[in-house]
Each structure stands twice: as C-alpha cells, then as structure tokens.
Amino acid sequence: MLSRHLVCAVLVAALALTGCGPSSSGKPLRRAKQRVFVLGFDGMDPTLARKWMDEGKLPNLKRLSEQGTFAKLETTQPSESPVAWASFATGVNPGKHNIYDFLKRDLQTYLPDPSMGTKIVPPSFKWGFLPVKRPEVLSTRGGTSFWKHASDDGVKSIVLTVPMNWPPDDIHHGAILGGLPLGDIRGTLGTFNYWATDLSSFEEGNTEFGGYLRRLLFEAGVAQPLLKGPDNPILKQEERELLAKQEAGSLSDQETRRLEELATSKAVDIPFTVKWKEGAGHAQIEVQGTHLDLKSGEWSGWVPLTFKFNVLVKARGMTQFHVIRADGELQVYASPVNLDPRDPPIPISQPKEFSKQLADQIGLYRTLGWAEATMALVEGRLDESDSPCMRQPWPPSMVTPSRRSTGARTISWAVSKPSFRRARSTS
C-alpha cells in the first residue's frame, strides 16, 4: 500500500531516447554536464535502510549510496504520499499545488472523490452510438515540475511513473510515462477479480478495497465466469442525460425504469472458460482466443483483452491470471485490468507514442499507477508469497546503468521519512 511518505518513482534526467525530438517551444536541446538518476522508495525508513546497508543486507543500495548520495528527506504537512510527491515535483507547498490527500470532497454529492489532482471529461456520442469527442483527463495540480523547467531550459528528461504526474506534463525534450492516479480499465486505482469454488454466497460481490468476488460453479469440469469490465461510456452518457432530466423533474415513467436499469447494467464484462478437475493441480483458462494452462501458484503473462462498447468503440486492456490453488478447491485471481500501453484508450505518456515504444523495447509492463496488488493483500485473497512484482517487466529496467549511461557522473538515491514538521518548500 502507498504509505504516507514520498512515493516510489524513478526519474532519469538528461538521458537520450530515440523518438523524443525537440520542439519549437523552449530552448533548443543541449547536452547537460552530468546525467543524474534519482530513485525514491515509498515507506522505506532511512534509519533501517542505513542499518541494513551497514549489515550487508542491502549491498546494491549500499553501493549506490557510496557512489552518489543517500539522504533523508523531509515530508509535507499533511504527510500523505500524493501531497509529498506533488511537493517533490514542484517545490511548492500543498497550498500552492492544491493536493491535500488521496481523496477530495465532491462538492456536488459530498462523497469522497479519489481523483487526486485530475478532472475527467467524458467522451461524447451523437445519436447514442457515434463518437464525436474523445475522453480527456485534465490536471488540477498546481505548480510546475522541475523536469518541465529543465525541458524549457533545453535539458532532456525521462520521467517514469512519478505519482501526481498524470496526465503527464507536456515537455519539449524527453518523455514521460504517467503514474498515480493513472487508473485501470474501470477508472479505479485497481479492481481485481477473484473466483473460487470455496467462496460462500455471503462473500460474493464487491469488496471494500477494490475487488470483485464470484463463486466458481462447475458442470462436467467446466465453469463460465465473467471478468468485470468497464462501464460502457455510451450508456453512462445516457444515464447522465436521464439524471439531468430527473433533477429538472421531467422524467417519464418509461425513463424512470430505464434509469433504474442503467444503474446495474452498464458494465461490459468478458465471459471466459475455466476447465478443472478436483485434485488435478492445474487449471485451463480460455479468454478471447488466449489459452492458458496454469499450475497451482503459477502466474500467466499479460493476457490482452478487448472490451467492445459498440461496433465503433472499444477499449484495449490486459490482465494476468494467477491460480492460487488447484487441489481440492480452485482459487483464481486476475490482476486489475491495466491499460494496454501499445494502444491505450487514453494517452498514458507524453509523447503519446512513448508508451508503445517502451513496450516494444522491454515488453508489456504494468501501467496502473497503483502498481502493486495491495488491495488483494488487504482483502486476504493474496499473501506476500503470491506477489507478482518480481515476475513482471517494469519500466525502470530500461534505465538501469547501461552502455548509454556510462558517462553518468552522479547517482542520487534518497528515501523519505515521515515527519510532522512543516516541509521546507519554495514558492
């Protein structure tokens, strides 16, 4: 879970990348005197980190600290991850960047809103099927990030999954892959799917922390469950229009019934097949042309998914299946459906083709801003041994020291520590 400290990210400044050309705005691209890597770790206590480095338990981090800089950082007030990371990026205090928590209050409904510095403008459809306007994500975070200042001064930066940097800043020199609050295909911070033969009817449904649970029912060794998908944006527009009419007091009986129907029937779910025999030790999964045969404890690779809203509109995502057990009972987990970086329904990088270039270079990778499976851990559907984090390609692998970075003089590495003192922020 994201702690209330500085959040995990990797920033690579002044690193060349093919396809990130200069723009007519700002100063021309120039070569900086030094190349700098900055790594931040969420919730890593610097006192314990130093202790374990001295004890030889963290040899790689010890080597980095000796080659560069290891330092404690002050945090913000309040000491929440989105708040601290926004201050890190912009150098201003919360009163100036306008991020105060993971949540904010919706002034219309007074319900918690987890948008964290973003405003979603939904797509528009004419005649209930023809798309006339794409969805748009706007940033409400104040301040200017230091990589944007660097870009304006002619210095190239590569910025990967930095929280509170989505939608990505528009920089002239370099590239950005968005981070938190970039969501999954459902627009949430991570809704996982879980199916099991030993799940009771009382456990089925939505969980408190972002999960969708369903019991597996087999007939002749075959089950036909559904993978929870996003709401159909065409039906959501229809619902908004009916709600507006209802507020104006002009809804007919037929429209009232339609509104009630839309409340529970907007999701576009994907049916798939599970084949399993008790005690087999493995299960077969077939979904949209992908065939998997997974043993107990095994994870699949990324499985591409297509959610069709009508003949003209669709969204591409990807998930990973995990067979937790397949002995006397079968338990299957599917990760939150990430946006496919090769063809995301909305841009997740800047320039927008960067996410695909990255996938072409290192393979498919997690795009969800809240990348680790903490929701399933909290709900008790996964444990630490089930974590896929070390099994998945992750963008920072692209920026580890290589032949192209041998000229780097400085590696800076820092971890943050919770503090209730006011952060030292500049205006």
pLDDT for position 33: 80
For 65-100, the pLDDT digits (tens) are: 888 888 777 788 888 889 999 999 999 999 999 898
For 200-213, the pLDDT digits (tens) are: 888 888 886 689 99
pLDDT for position 192: 94
Closest to 395 measured CA to CA, from 34, 60, 36, 9: 9
Residues (pLDDT < 50) of the chain are 1-23, 390-427
pLDDT for position 25: 64
- For the chain, domain boundaries: 9-109+134-182+348-416, 185-232+271-344
pLDDT for position 398: 33
For 91-138, the pLDDT digits (tens) are: 999 999 989 888 888 777 888 877 788 888 999 999 988 999 999 999
* pTM as predicted: 0.82
pLDDT for position 389: 52
